[in-house]
Structure 1
Amino acid sequence: MPVAAPDSRPVTSAAVPGPERPPKLALIGNPNSGKTSLFNQLTGLNQKVGNFPGVTVDRKTGLAPLGGARRAEVIDLPGTYSLYPKSLDERVIADLLYDPTSADYPDFVVVTVDASNLRRGLLLFTQLADLGLPAVLGLNMTDVAAERGISIDVPALERELQVPVVPLNARKGTGLAALRIVLADRLAVAPTRRFWEIPASLRPLVQQVRARFGLHNDYLALHYAHQFRQLHFLSEADRTDLARLTEQAGFDSTARQAEETVARYARLNEVLLDVVTVTRTERQEPASNKIDKVLTHRVFGYLIFLAILFLLFQAIFAWAQYPMDWIDQGISALSGAIQARFSGPLVRLLTEGVIAGLGGVLIFIPQIALLFAFLAVLEESGYMARVTFLMDKLMRPFGLSGKSVVPLISGLACAVPAIMGARTIESWKDRMLTIFVTPLMSCSARIPVYTVLVALVVPDESWLGLFNMRGLVLMGLYLLGTASALLSAWALKVVLKARERSYFIMEFPVYRWPRWKNVGLTIVEKVKAFVWQAGKVIVAISVLLWVLASYGPGQRQAQAEAAVQRQAAAQRWPAPETERRVASARLETSYAGTFGHLIEPAIRPLGFDWKIGIALLTSFAAREVFVGTMSTIYSVGQDADLGTVQQKLANEKDTQGHPFFTPRRALSLLVFYVFAMQCMSTLATTYRETKSWRWPLGQLVYMTGLAYLASLLVWQVF
């Protein structure tokens, strides 16, 4: 009977692609090694975002065409420097690569390395090679290496590593055709040469682990001993057995990791001695260092960042206004044209429910696209990493670290992935504080609320002929949210009495011009997510709300309508005024109006009425539902020909016939939405990340109380 080699890779049903399943390819590499750029080049728009099984870390997958009908399913793994994870998102790599029976186990991996810093990138490669994974080495950033006078003998490197090596420039797509050929012809192979020999003192433990779990590889068995406490696919019985085996062997994981790393670098020095040639050395200070002295300056750095944020918020109003007006007017014209030609309850459901709700989604696409375009450019250029470093000193007094900046800035887009992004923070204290305060950052879902109310009460004028007043107010709202997040973190730090010390180490990526294809992909992906995820909720709630606003309990609506008709006859109101009052009376006595009146006593001290109360209730599903709700409410309660959402709100009158949405009332409502926790998805994500209801419930109570008190202060005092 033939016997498999000690470190041969087993053939499992999960590892062998059939004719109906494309091969699985995992992209892995150091942070800033061009891995995500390569993923975008390979997959284009054929991407989707989900979660890794059992955890809430984002997983980007996509289908990559390899030529003809051949394709590969590509998984973009989190960036890491080694297979010994230091953060929660890096642990998903171990879960994926250490379980050969998993349905997601890759058939081969592409390891991206920075050609200008080859030694560091190859540390990860040697670990993957010793696991016996078929691999291809993507030698990225070859242009940067050439600029620095670094020459790499690719054939010699292939001989040393025993895997295909493909020179790449992932940002420009250079070398992509050669990589597709390698992948299509399945030229990836598992190296037979070991880059690190397991010490004899560890072999008994390794053999015991291999026998206990039926593993195919010595180095994989060693990683079970190192990381069994973090591997999600192991059972409690498995962990108990591994704890016993490692204790009996006197296994010191930290010391062994250090010994292995030193030995691997020594081996890499030998490999690279005849592979890498440096033809010149930098005699002058690199331009990036000179730029960093300005952008990370302790004074000018903050001013520059503030100016960039100011430009962003000015753009959201100034540049997006024209397409928003076109969309808003188009939706209004479509509803008017349908109602002019058809009539009946189904037509009203279509125009006042579906189309009004759809308008509440589509109108904000220009602003959402602009926000994500700016964030993508900052990320692509390398500036966002400098912001993280710059903000570290600012964050420390509030109990946060520089790594908290990435989730907080991501919170400007959406709190859900931002909270997930806190997994990169090693310190428990920093991570919990970041998760708790991130929802106070004004996310893109608040933009619809902000822009409608600001445009309603703030004149479209310029200050000093340069600064748009609406943009200044919008920036003030964002700064208010940021200040509240920092102050809340400081207060929570005092309450927790946390004394855990944390550290901050960050590598700056190279400055580059943004790759506009990647920026475009980011915009398309984020806008699509907004339309399909938030849009479905908004339209569904708009339809439900139309039903609740159009019908009421018993005969209350009919009685209210009859009372208005009698009053109209007695006072001889004109037909349009009679119709408006009838619609308003029917709305007030509807199911939605009844719910609004129930909570009106609680919100009246804030300057809100029962109609706003309805919007507050519905927007607990998602903040952006507020505008769709207001559009539906005023479509039902007013003449449908009033036009856009802003026009409908501007025409709303109080009991004395004055404009209802005064600057004072609008500011009270704006402040409420700055602080309020009105997103069920955020609460659910906080629970999944913290594994406790204490944190999401604390968020809900704290933020709702803060919003109520701040709004009360604005309405009653100012």
Structure 2
Amino acid sequence: MKADIRVALAGNPNTGKSTLFNVLTGLNQKIGNFPGVTVDKKVGYTKLPDGRIAEIVDLPGTYSLYPKSQDESIVFSVLADRANALSPDLVIVILDASNLKRNLLLYSQVADLKIPVIIALNMMDLANKSGIVIDVDLFAKTLGVQVVPIAARKQEGIDELKTAITYANKIALQEDSIDVRSIAPQLIDSISRELNIDNPYFALQLAHQHETLKFLTTEQSARIEELEKEHSFHTQKAQGSETIARYSAINELLYDTVKVPDTAQDETLSNKIDKVLTHKVFGFIIFFAILMFMFQAIFSWAAYPMELIDTAFVWIQNTLHKTLPAGPLVNLLADGIVAGLSGVMVFIPQIAILFAFISILEDTGYMSRVTFMMDKLMRKVGLNGKSVVPLIGGFACAVPSIMSTRTIENWKDRMITIMVTPLVTCSARLPVYTLLIALVVPNKNIWWVFNMQGLALTGMYVFSLVSAVVVAWVFKLILKSRERGYFIMELPVYRMPRWNNVAYSMYERSKSFVVQAGKVIIAVSIILWVMASYGPGDRFEKIDAKYKQPQYTQNISADQLSRDIATEKLENSYAGVLGHVIEPAIRPLGFDWKIGIALITSFAAREVFVGTMATIYSVNGSVDDIQSVQEKMHQAKNTQTGQPVFTFAVAFSLMMFYAFAMQCASTVAVVFRETKSWKWPAIQFAYMTVLAYVVSFVVYQLLR
């Protein structure tokens, strides 16, 4: 879509910047990467009152233009480099109306770059509720910019903001926030002359950041370095002087334009709630209780819709077999593709419920409290407090969680976080866990409240977090670094979740899960069906000839004969041969050759396990008796012992294997992209696979 004007959104974390972006752009947005880096770039489009189209770029949240992470460094690069493909015509700086003093630091820096600016005074509803009175007209007049009061969550003031964008002046009219030149007059003058710059604050920022700015040539960066030495420039001292000057100007502005009642200084409701939810004892108990409630809900709430989806796929398979002429293509469609897809589609309700809870916890502000509580524990195992964000995010998916480690400045902390994040139970493991738990754990309540299956699932999630922490401690002893990590995080006020946002999150993430998994599962299901339906040489012909002999046809019923033929053909198929090859290696874990095939296919993606089981048991089953994958696995018998294949010991051994093994090609790819080396994904794959085998072996031997 071609845009007439490009608008960048800038602001501190937790000011509602992303909410405003979503309100302005709706579904008309896309996510990519900023050029040359792996930082997420969110771009969307909105229609202005005069009919023009505005491209909205959501810049990473930052407290100032002095970056402390890769994400934050993007902000200055985009704003300052006029040759950048994303260079904006206009910047909207989002300020939290209830916390202006902190927010105005970033605004004053952006304004001094002399880019046209509009201020979106967000969360006006909360400021009004707290009794904070802002003289918006005087505020705008003093700064020399348009100021638009909004409440993005309630979609108030959005039309006024679009009107302000429409009539924004393309020439920066804002007043200088401070006398920038006085901070380092000789150096600023020298850089301005050498690089032909007419903005003193731009020149000062080049002095601070020239080593990391890609739009400067090597010669220009080297020359700035020479000028710094010539004028005895100390970057930290200059930053300190600038910050003091800016806050002095901010204090004067707020004194004239903002009236805060005495009652606003009292303890806020959020602080009162935090005394309970972040308590050093009760906080962890409450967090654990919330986790238990989540996983109880995942089992109980999803039961009915899962049953409907299950029944629908069984009906589809039956219908295909009855209405279409028998043959390999129909078998491929019904027993390969449809059966494989049913194994994942049936878990959509559970995936949606998981993402709904995660979205609610993030939206209310509680997730930030969890990271705050876990900070002290993280430090003891060698992690940064910021590591908690990727670890908690790992409940949904390891890929974006690993990408979010860019906010961790310390190299060692970041590497350890990347290495252990895949251990946290992600949504792809959920279908595997719920299927196996449903097979071996009774669906009973204890103490009339706790469902045993929900408790088992809770245990797997808690176990994954504990495992990640223990492995992080081991990496702390192995990896060496002299850098010191630190944790700075603002706790947002508690808010009611935006239910439309929760619904959108459920839809988007569930769709993404199904689309990404579906592509792999269809491909794997087709390959598996072919491998399970055909065998090497003349094995299948010999089996047919064997069972045509009188001792079989006269003494065995037609149904039993059909099942025996299908079972023997499956064992002699290409898939059966492959399974039998690896069976000796996995037999000590309690796995047979069919599970072995699922282990191999699910190295592409964990959720493929369920689709593989569905395909294998469909090929092995009768066309006249099509069942759900859970029923098939429940009835599966060991041909040698006659006992069920999926015993308590086998199921938990298998869950432990999936808890530790690196079975996700996307995660391997993103680790390579983030570390820019195959060394780290190779180490990660090796240690996780070994750990999976050892733990699975121990669990099976103890439980059998």
Identity among equivalent positions (%) equals: 53
Q: Is the 8 A contact 2:390 2:417 kept in 1?
A: yes
SS in 2 for 1:109: strand
The counterpart of 2:662, out of the listed 673, 677, 683, is 677
SS in 1 for 2:119: strand
- Corresponding residue of 1:121: 103
SS in 2 for 1:75: strand
The counterpart of 2:674, out of the listed 658, 665, 689, is 689
- Corresponding residue of 2:292: 310
Amino acid at match of 1:581: D
SS in 2 for 1:89: helix
1:108 counterpart = 2:93 = no
Q: Cα distance 1:450–1:275, how it changes in 2: closer, same or farther (>3 A)?
A: same
CA distance in 2, matches of 1:714, 1:528: 35
- Corresponding residue of 1:372: 355
- Corresponding residue of 1:549: 532
Kindly tell me the number of residue pairs found equivalent between the two proteins.
700
Tell me the CA shift for residue 693 of structure 1. 2.5
- Corresponding residue of 1:710: 695
- Corresponding residue of 1:361: 344
Q: Deviations over 1:293-332 (max 9, x none)?
A: 1111111111001000110111111111111111111111
Name structure 1 gaps, 5 residues minimum: 1-18
The counterpart of 1:136, out of the listed 118, 121, 134, is 118
Q: Is the 8 A contact 2:412 2:480 kept in 1?
A: no
Tell me the CA shift for residue 512 of structure 1. 1.1
CA distance in 1, matches of 2:28, 2:396: 22
CA distance in 1, matches of 2:197, 2:343: 55
CA distance in 1, matches of 2:101, 2:677: 42
Q: Is the 8 A contact 2:318 2:626 kept in 1?
A: no
State which drifts further: 344-353 or 495-504.
495-504
SS in 1 for 2:99: helix
Amino acid at match of 2:430: I
Amino acid at match of 2:682: L
CA distance in 2, matches of 1:703, 1:636: 32
The counterpart of 1:538, out of the listed 521, 539, 553, is 521
Tell me the CA shift for residue 472 of structure 1. 0.5
Tell me the CA shift for residue 113 of structure 1. 0.3
Q: Is the 8 A contact 1:164 1:188 kept in 2?
A: no
- Corresponding residue of 2:277: 295
Amino acid at match of 1:374: F
Q: Deviations over 1:168-220 (max 9, x none)?
A: 11111111111122223445652352223333574554455456656564322
- Corresponding residue of 2:158: 176
- Corresponding residue of 1:645: 629
SS in 1 for 2:612: helix
CA distance in 1, matches of 2:281, 2:187: 55
Q: Is the 8 A contact 2:292 2:458 kept in 1?
A: yes
Mapping of residues 90-239 of structure 1, within 5 Å? 90-187=72-169, 189-199=171-181, 202-203=184-185, 205-206=187-188, 209-210=191-192, 217-234=199-216, 236=218, 239=221
Q: Cα distance 1:220–1:301, how it changes in 2: closer, same or farther (>3 A)?
A: same
- Corresponding residue of 1:21: 3
Q: Is the 8 A contact 2:143 2:174 kept in 1?
A: no
Q: Cα distance 1:638–1:155, how it changes in 2: closer, same or farther (>3 A)?
A: same
Amino acid at match of 1:520: A
Q: Cα distance 1:350–1:67, how it changes in 2: closer, same or farther (>3 A)?
A: farther
CA distance in 2, matches of 1:223, 1:566: 89
State which drifts further: 574-583 or 83-92.
574-583
CA distance in 2, matches of 1:394, 1:62: 39
- Corresponding residue of 2:330: 347
State which drifts further: 688-697 or 382-391.
688-697
CA distance in 2, matches of 1:513, 1:21: 35
- Corresponding residue of 1:327: 309
Q: Is the 8 A contact 1:45 1:521 kept in 2?
A: no
The counterpart of 1:700, out of the listed 669, 672, 685, is 685
Q: Cα distance 1:206–1:584, how it changes in 2: closer, same or farther (>3 A)?
A: farther
Q: Is the 8 A contact 2:89 2:116 kept in 1?
A: yes
State which drifts further: 431-440 or 638-647.
638-647
Q: Deviations over 1:211-239 (max 9, x none)?
A: 66565643223322211222345555554
State which drifts further: 362-371 or 210-219.
210-219
Q: Is the 8 A contact 1:565 1:582 kept in 2?
A: no
Tell me the CA shift for residue 22 of structure 1. 4.3
Please report the RMSD computed on the Cα atoms of aligned residues, expressed in angstroms. Answer: 2.2
1:440 counterpart = 2:432 = no
Tell me the CA shift for residue 41 of structure 1. 1.4
- Corresponding residue of 2:460: 477
Name structure 2 gaps, 5 residues minimum: none
CA distance in 2, matches of 1:244, 1:134: 32
Amino acid at match of 1:120: R
- Corresponding residue of 1:14: none
How does the TM-score come out when normalised to structure 1?
A: 0.93
Q: Deviations over 1:36-88 (max 9, x none)?
A: 11112112223333222222222322222334754322222221110111122
SS in 1 for 2:442: coil
State which drifts further: 521-530 or 612-621.
521-530
Q: Cα distance 1:510–1:407, how it changes in 2: closer, same or farther (>3 A)?
A: same
Mapping of residues 243-254 of structure 1, within 5 Å? 243-254=225-236
CA distance in 1, matches of 2:611, 2:316: 16
SS in 1 for 2:3: coil
Q: Is the 8 A contact 1:568 1:578 kept in 2?
A: no
SS in 2 for 1:274: helix
Q: Cα distance 1:513–1:563, how it changes in 2: closer, same or farther (>3 A)?
A: same
How does the TM-score come out when normalised to structure 2?
A: 0.94
Q: Cα distance 1:710–1:41, how it changes in 2: closer, same or farther (>3 A)?
A: same
Q: Cα distance 1:55–1:657, how it changes in 2: closer, same or farther (>3 A)?
A: same
Tell me the CA shift for residue 142 of structure 1. 1.1
CA distance in 2, matches of 1:454, 1:466: 18
- Corresponding residue of 1:400: 383
Q: Is the 8 A contact 2:145 2:174 kept in 1?
A: no
Amino acid at match of 1:679: C
Q: Is the 8 A contact 1:26 1:109 kept in 2?
A: yes
Q: Cα distance 1:134–1:528, how it changes in 2: closer, same or farther (>3 A)?
A: farther
Amino acid at match of 1:353: G
State which drifts further: 588-597 or 193-202.
193-202
1:572 counterpart = 2:555 = yes
CA distance in 1, matches of 2:362, 2:390: 13
SS in 2 for 1:510: coil
Q: Cα distance 1:236–1:468, how it changes in 2: closer, same or farther (>3 A)?
A: farther
CA distance in 2, matches of 1:281, 1:685: 49
Q: Cα distance 1:123–1:595, how it changes in 2: closer, same or farther (>3 A)?
A: same
Q: Is the 8 A contact 1:565 1:578 kept in 2?
A: no
State which drifts further: 387-396 or 214-223.
214-223
State which drifts further: 52-61 or 497-506.
497-506
- Corresponding residue of 2:241: 259
Q: Is the 8 A contact 1:94 1:231 kept in 2?
A: no
Q: Deviations over 1:459-491 (max 9, x none)?
A: 111112211010000011111111111111111
- Corresponding residue of 1:274: 256
- Corresponding residue of 1:423: 406
CA distance in 2, matches of 1:357, 1:40: 35
- Corresponding residue of 1:660: 645
State which drifts further: 356-365 or 556-565.
556-565
Q: Is the 8 A contact 1:149 1:280 kept in 2?
A: no
1:596 counterpart = 2:579 = yes
Q: Deviations over 1:645-703 (max 9, x none)?
A: 10111121111332211111111101111111111211221222222323222211111
Q: Cα distance 1:208–1:539, how it changes in 2: closer, same or farther (>3 A)?
A: farther
